[in-house]
Amino acid sequence: MIGASVDLQVPTGFGPYPPVSAFMALLGPMHAREEEGGQLRLGLHLLPAHMNHQEAAHGGFVATLSDNALGVNVARRLGKRVATANLSVDYLARASVGEWVEVVTRIDKIGRRMVFAECSGHVAERVIFKARGIFAVLPERPQARKGESEC
């Protein structure tokens, strides 16, 4: 559990990162900082809800966090909607309740239909995970004609 000695202050430069969906809101309060080149660095404090039975960050949480960081950065870079085609996560070290995790993303290759990117999660100087994703570029949504609903 979070004790009185744990500092839950958000590092300078990070602001609120609104969830992109109701599902992502379940992860709890996230923060973001825009990096040079327009990439978003995501950050959050690990909460009890993020832990597995061994009191370490749950692998499913880490995969979801990775997928979100990669997807949002790819979509921002392209200015288009994308969908995850493949996600691979390497779990490298434990992370515990109260620790501040930052996710750094890099886009490696942009093709016509697919984008390749990777990210890493850091607690201070420790790398706790690395992930690689392939994202499909989705077609533009057709514009609704006047008087028509998108539904």
Q: Which domains are seen in the chain, by residue range?
A: 34-137 (3.10.129.10)
Q: What pLDDT is recorded for position 6?
A: 52
- Asked if 55 contacts 96 with a C-beta cutoff of 8 angstroms, the reply is yes
Helix (H) / strand (E) containing 132: strand 126-137
Strand partners, 24: none
Average pLDDT for residues 96-116, to the nearest whole number? 97
* Amino acid at residue number 140: E
Q: pTM to 2 decimals?
A: 0.87
Q: What pLDDT is recorded for position 145?
A: 57
Average pLDDT for residues 18-36, to the nearest whole number? 92
Q: What pLDDT is recorded for position 20?
A: 85
pLDDT greater than 80 at residue 149: no
Tokens 């990096």 correspond to: 35
When mean pLDDT is compared across 19-28, 56-65, 70-79, the lowest value belongs to 19-28
Q: What pLDDT is recorded for position 37?
A: 87
Q: What pLDDT is recorded for position 150?
A: 47
pLDDT single digits (tens) 31-74:
999 998 899 999 999 999 999 999 999 999 999 999 999 999 99
